[in-house]
Amino acid sequence: DVKVTQSSRYLVKRTGEKVFLECVQDMDHENMFWYRQDPGLGLRLIYFSYDVKMKEKGDIPEGYSVSREKKERFSLILESASTNQTSMYLCASRRDLGSPLHFGNGTRLTVT
Amino acid sequence: QKEVEQNSGPLSVPEGAIASLNCTYSDRGSQSFFWYRQYSGKSPELIMSIYSNGDKEDGRFTAQLNKASQYVSLLIRDSQPSDSATYLCAVTTSLQGAQKLVFGQGTRLTINP
């Protein structure tokens, strides 16, 4: 089974802090993704990566950046956290373009 | 028109009955279709993948795909209270250039004992 591990289940940060969300997958998948999920807005794609050191903007990249230094690890960075970034963050990976996404357990981030 | 559309529900079904969830998509060239189940506060969990027209069965779940009509559905037989969740339809689309996986808003399903 594919395992996607997110480093924190719950996180509370203050406005203006730099926040790192870590994600690791163990299936040698090329593709990795970061989504956020909010009530009534569904899943929204923040950033994705098709290869090491490669990144592409998703639908809502503003206020976020990513890092993929190793194939198995994809990090989401909130440069200066704001209250409107309070959300559930979901990391996912997949083998190739036609394959399903496998999600991590999610990180519920609260910015106060 | 949204790329992937689902009825948001809530859909209420008595225990033991068949629950029918529907999804329509706009990209006629879509090739990969997925159903996810998401319990409240949890992450989405893959239930079914379907790539060809017709039915695909896995236990109590059946996915149905009709590319000509651009819809995909999920049937849950002998519904159980533990099936109460939000069900997300996801479709691979190549609209706007890059191929990506687009999710519907989800249908909230409640199974009544």
Q: What is the pLDDT of residues A72-89, one digit of tens each?
A: 999 999 999 999 999 999
End-to-end CA distance of chain B, in Å? 37
Mutate to test the interface with B, among A5, A47, A60, A103 (most CBs of B within 10 A): A103
- Cross-chain CB nearest to A100 (options B46, B98, B106): B46
Average pLDDT over residues B71-99: 90
Q: Does B53 touch chain A (CB under 8 A)?
A: no
Is residue A9 within 8 A of residue A15, CB to CB? The reply is no
Average pLDDT over residues B81-85: 97
Percent helix, percent strand, percent coil in chain B, to nearest 5: 5, 55, 40
Closest to B100 in 3D by CA, of A107, A14, A59: A59
Non-local (6+) Cβ contacts of B20 within 8 A are B73, B74, B75
pLDDT(B89) > 80: yes
Mean pLDDT of chain B: 93
Average pLDDT over residues B95-105: 78
Whole-angstrom distance, CA of residue B91 vs CA of residue B82: 25
Whole-angstrom distance, CA of residue B72 vs CA of residue A52: 34
pLDDT(B96) > 70: no
CB pairs < 8 Å spanning A and B: 40
Is residue B17 within 8 A of residue B70, CB to CB? The reply is no
Mutate to test the interface with B, among A97, A108, A110 (most CBs of B within 10 A): A97
Predicted local confidence at residue A98, as pLDDT: 85
DSSP string, A37-85: EETTTEEEEEEEESSTT--EE-S--TTEEEEEEETTEEEEEESS--GGG
Is residue A72 within 8 A of residue A15, CB to CB? The reply is no
Predicted local confidence at residue A35, as pLDDT: 97
Average pLDDT over residues B9-17: 95
- Cross-chain CB nearest to B43 (options A56, A98, A104): A104
Average pLDDT over residues B80-104: 87
Average pLDDT over residues A21-27: 96
pLDDT(B97) > 70: no
At A56, is the pLDDT very low, low, confident or very high (cuts 50, 70, 90)? Answer: very high
